[in-house]
Amino acid sequence: MSEDEQKIVEELQAELAKLKVSDLLLQTLYTVSSLGYHRLSGETKDLEQAKLAIEALKALVPVLQGSVPEEAVRDFQQVVANMQLAYAAAVTEEN
């Protein structure tokens, strides 16, 4: 490994040492919710993927309780509820 590569590895390890699991989970929930919403309508509509996003959010949101601000948990609980309503409407629309 070259000296430059070693330096990059050390910098990455230093960044990882600072990262909290709760921060990563919040970012993951944000990403999953965004993808899920995009799969509920339009050209990217894929209800199977939207349902998977909803189920993932339902599983992960409770895990964050006590580790992140309560308003973040409430916000994601509201996102789940909104996505479930949008999913139900999209399923009804298809039938």
Residue 40 is predicted with a pLDDT of: 95
pLDDT in tens, 24-82: 999 999 999 999 999 998 899 999 999 999 999 999 999 999 999 999 999 999 999 99
- Distance from C-alpha of 33 to C-alpha of 31, rounded to nearest angstrom: 5
CA atoms within 13 A on the CB side of 18: 5
Q: Are 49 and 34 a contacting pair, CB within 8 Å?
A: no
Exposed, middle or buried, 59 (CB in 10 Å: 0-12/13-18/19+)? exposed
Query: pLDDT category, 91, cuts 50, 70, 90?
Result: very high
State both tokens at 14: 């230093």
Phi–psi pair at 20, nearest 5 degrees: -100, 145
Exposed, middle or buried, 67 (CB in 10 Å: 0-12/13-18/19+)? middle
